[in-house]
Amino acid sequence: MRAAPTILHLDMDAFFAAAEQAAKPSLRGKPVVVGGLGPRGVVATASYEARRFGVHSAMPMGQARRLAPNAAYLVPRFGFYRAISEQVMELLGRLSPLVEPLSLDEAFVDLEAGGVADDSGTAREAGERLRRDILATTGLTGSVGLAGSKMLAKIASEEAKPDGLVLIEPGTERELLGPKSVRILPGVGPATGEHLRRAGMTTVSDLAEAGEDELVRLLGRAHGASLYRMAQGYDDRPVVAERDAKSVSVEDTFDVDLHDRVRIRIEVERLAERCVGRLRASGHSGRTIVLKVRRFDFSTLTRSETLRGPTDDPLVVREAAGRLLEGVDTTGGVRLLGVGVSGLADYTQEDLFAQAAEESRGAGGEDEDEVPVGEGGVAEGEEPAAAAAAAAAAVAERRWAPGHDVRHVVYGAGWVQGSGVGRVTVRFEQPGSAPGRVRTFLVDDPELEAGEALPLVGGGEGTAAVA
Here the CATH number for the domain that contains residue 219 is: 1.10.150.20
- DSSP letter string, 182-193: GGGSTT--HHHH
Please indicate whether residue 142 or residue 232 has the higher confidence score (pLDDT).
142
Domain of residue 409, CATH code: 2.30.30
In a domain, 242, yes or no: no
* Cβ neighbours, 10 Å, residue 127: 29
Residue 206 near residue 179, CB atoms below 8 Å: no
Question: What does the pLDDT average to over 141-157?
Answer: 96
pLDDT tens, position by position, 106-123: 999 999 999 999 999 999
Q: Which residue has the higher pLDDT, 296 or 397?
A: 296
Domain CATH code at residue 153: 3.30.70.270
* pLDDT for position 389: 46
Residues in CB range of 234: below 8 A, 6 or more apart: 1, 149, 173
How much is the pLDDT for 124?
98
Give residue 151's pLDDT band: very low, low, confident or very high (50, 70, 90): very high
Greater confidence (442 vs 347) lies with 442
Q: Which stretches of 71-193 are assigned E, i.e. beta strand?
A: 72-74, 99-103, 106-110, 142-147, 165-167
- Tell me the CATH number at 266: 3.30.1490.100
Indicate the pLDDT class of residue 456, thresholds 50, 70 and 90: confident
The reply to whether 269 and 221 lie within a common domain is no
Is 77 in contact with 467 (CB distance < 8 Å)?
yes
Range of the domain at 433: 401-466
pLDDT single digits (tens) 129-143 = 999 999 999 999 999
Output 97 or 308, whichever has higher pLDDT: 97
Quote the pLDDT of residue 261.
Answer: 92
Dump pLDDT digits (tens) for 57-100: 888 999 999 999 999 999 989 889 989 999 999 999 999 999 99
Mean pLDDT of 320-329: 92
Residue 43's closest CA among 53, 57, 28? 57
Catalytic residues: 106
Residue at 371 is within a domain: no
Name the nearest CA neighbour of 25 among 438, 411, 467, 451: 438
Query: Reduced to 3 DSSP states, what percent helix, strand and coil does the chain have, rounded to the nearest 5?
Result: 35, 25, 35
378: nearest Cα among 399, 396, 401, 394: 394
Q: What is the pLDDT of residue 67?
A: 97
Phi, psi of 401 (to 5 degrees): -75, 135
Same domain? 139 vs 42: yes
User: How many structural domains are present in the chain?
Assistant: 4
From 317, 316, 288, select the one nearest 304 (Cα to Cα).
Answer: 288
Q: Which residues pair with 448 in a beta bridge?
A: 408
Q: Say yes or no: 211 and 251 in one domain.
A: no
Percentage of the chain with pLDDT > 90?
59
Judging by beta carbons within 10 Å of its beta carbon (0-12, 13-18, 19+), is residue 76 exposed, middle or buried? buried
Determine the average pLDDT of the residues in 173-201.
89
Domain final residue pick, 310, 343, 361:
361
* pLDDT > 60? residue 249: yes
Most confident region among 198-202, 246-250, 449-453 by mean pLDDT: 198-202
- In this structure, the answer to whether residues 11 and 86 fall within a common structural domain is yes
Q: Is 142 left (phi over 0), alpha (psi -120 to 50) or beta?
A: beta
Distance of CA 25 to the CA centre of its chain: 23
What global pTM score does this model have?
0.68
Helix (H) or strand (E) holding 213: helix 212-219
Query: At 306, phi and psi to the nearest 5?
Result: -100, 125
Q: How far is CA 337 from CA 278, 295, 332, in A?
A: 17, 9, 14
- For 422, other C-beta atoms within 10 Å of its C-beta total 12
